[in-house]
Amino acid sequence: MARTASCAVSGRKLPRVADSYLTIARPSTAEIKEKASRFIAEAFPVSSSEEAEAQVAAIRKREYNATHVCSAWRVGPEAQEFRFNDDGEPNGSAGAPILRHIEGRLLTFVLVTVTRYYGGTKLGTGGLIRAYGGVADEALRAAGRRRVVRRAPIQLSFDYDDTSPAMHVISTFDATIADTLYDDRTHVTVRVRLSEIPTLKQAFVEALGGRGEIG
């Protein structure tokens, strides 16, 4: 079967959130029937555009008898990359409705595919929009949402006598200790929320009177 892809990149982004984003909690599926056509939606977490496109290719190979495999994905902590594919359906009738439901839930790092098996009756553009969007919505609802906090590592070095104030500073922030090394000083690697890094650094310098080092 010849496939012609209709791809577009949306210009909409998530509201800017410096150190967290929403993605799906789990993979999910949903299925609906419209005038004997089957629409099977699958939602997947993905880490990159390459992974999303590879997953779409794998589904097309698996569902080789399907009439269409339409899709939409968004990746990046601020949804910097996103794309939809109508896979031969009328322009804007399949991939765009799927993408709108991803956007409506403010999700990123997610792919939704909808596989269609044609049932012999044309649905028209409006019917296709409702079918593709509706089954994508069901799959995303089943997938749920989870918030991922973005963190970055910083290393704090200090003398043994400064252990108490140094650890107190760390405890007052949303930071996790990833590693601790000892030589003539203590070196603690902490993973900190992106938005809190400047404040933690300042608090560390002030609490130790400038005796500590930040790597």
Instruction: Output Rg (C-alpha) for the chain, integer angstroms.
Output: 24
Contact by Cβ (8 Å): 208, 181: no
CATH number assigned to the domain covering 7-148: 3.30.230.30
Domain parsing of the chain, residue ranges: 7-148, 151-214
46 pLDDT higher than 90: yes
Integer Cα distance of 200 and 194 in angstroms: 10
Architecture of the CATH domain 151-214? 2-Layer Sandwich (3.30)
Tell whether the model's pLDDT for residue 3 goes beyond 90: no
Residue 10: its pLDDT value, please?
40
pTM score of the predicted model: 0.80
- The answer to whether the beta carbons of residues 96 and 132 sit under 8 Å apart is no
Residue 13 or 179, more confident = 179
> Do 151-214 and 7-148 have the same topology in CATH?
no
Over 90: is that where the pLDDT of 65 sits? yes
Compute the CA torsion angle 63, 101, 72, 47 (nearest 10 deg). -100
* pLDDT band per the 50, 70, 90 thresholds, residue 7: very low
Residue 71 and residue 60 in contact, taking contact as beta carbons nearer than 8 Å: no
Average the pLDDT over 176-197 and give the result: 94
Residue 138: per-residue pLDDT: 97
Please report, to the nearest 10 degrees, the dihedral formed by the alpha carbons of residues 49, 153, 19, 80 taken in order. Answer: -20
Q: What angle do CA 24, 195, 185 make, to 5 degrees?
A: 115
The CA-CA-CA angle for residues 60, 6, 71, to 5°, reads 45
Per-residue confidence (pLDDT) for residue 19, from 0 to 100: 84
At 2 the pLDDT is: 32
Are 187 and 157 contacting, i.e. CB atoms less than 8 angstroms apart? yes
* Tens-digit pLDDT profile for residues 127-171: 999 999 999 999 999 999 999 999 999 999 999 999 999 999 999
On the question of pLDDT at 43 being above 50, the answer is yes
pLDDT tens, position by position, 20-33: 999 999 999 999 99
Mean pLDDT of the chain: 91
Q: What percent of the chain has pLDDT over 70?
A: 92
Confidence label for 18 from pLDDT (cuts 50, 70 and 90): low
